């Protein structure tokens, strides 16, 4: 299990990550919602998501094929999920807390995803493979 929280700390959660499923997502939705060139997302087992505190502060934006959840106090983007796709859940790796969680992510992202829609001004690094969509093999 890993633990995560928002910037202001009113929301804390834990979830079981899926090994080897960490991607730098370059899709326009992730870029806009995170305000960055890409968002590093870790896939997790949806049924294991447990809020330790502050679930009442979680707000959702539905659209573009899924739900994006964020803190209503500080605006931190926490996770994505798609109710119509079963247990799909990804958490923003930037919100995972503490060194005790580092072992689950020692290898970091395994690929760049959705580079077909990346920002024109950004060049993904060559140290991991790039895919036009998300590699879910």
Give me the sheet containing 12-15, strands edge to edge: 2-5, 12-15, 50-53
The per-residue pLDDT string of the chain (137 residues; one tens digit each, 9 = 90 and over) reads 889 999 999 999 999 988 888 999 998 888 888 889 999 999 899 889 999 999 999 999 987 677 899 999 999 999 988 766 566 788 999 899 875 555 555 568 888 999 998 988 998 888 899 988 887 66
Q: Taking the model in full, what pTM does it have?
A: 0.84
DSSP string, 89-119: EEEEGGGB-SGGGGGGGTT---EEE-GGG--
Topology (CATH level 3) of domain 2-6+16-117: 2.170.150
């Amino acid at each position: 299990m890993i633990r995560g929280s928002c910037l202001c700390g009113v929301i804390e959660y834990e979830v079981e990550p899926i090994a080897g499923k960490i991607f730098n997502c370059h899709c326009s939705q992730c870029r806009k919602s995170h305000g960055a060139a890409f968002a590093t997302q870790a896939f997790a087992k949806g049924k294991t998501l447990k809020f330790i505190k502050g679930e009442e502060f979680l707000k959702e934006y539905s659209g573009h094929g899924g739900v994006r959840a964020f803190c209503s106090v500080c605006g931190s983007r926490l996770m994505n999920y798609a109710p119509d796709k079963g247990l799909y859940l990804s958490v923003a790796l930037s919100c995972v807390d503490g060194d005790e969680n580092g072992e689950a992510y020692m290898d970091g992202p395994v690929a760049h995803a959705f580079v077909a829609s990346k920002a024109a001004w950004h060049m993904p690094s060559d140290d991991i493979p790039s895919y036009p969509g998300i590699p879910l093999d």
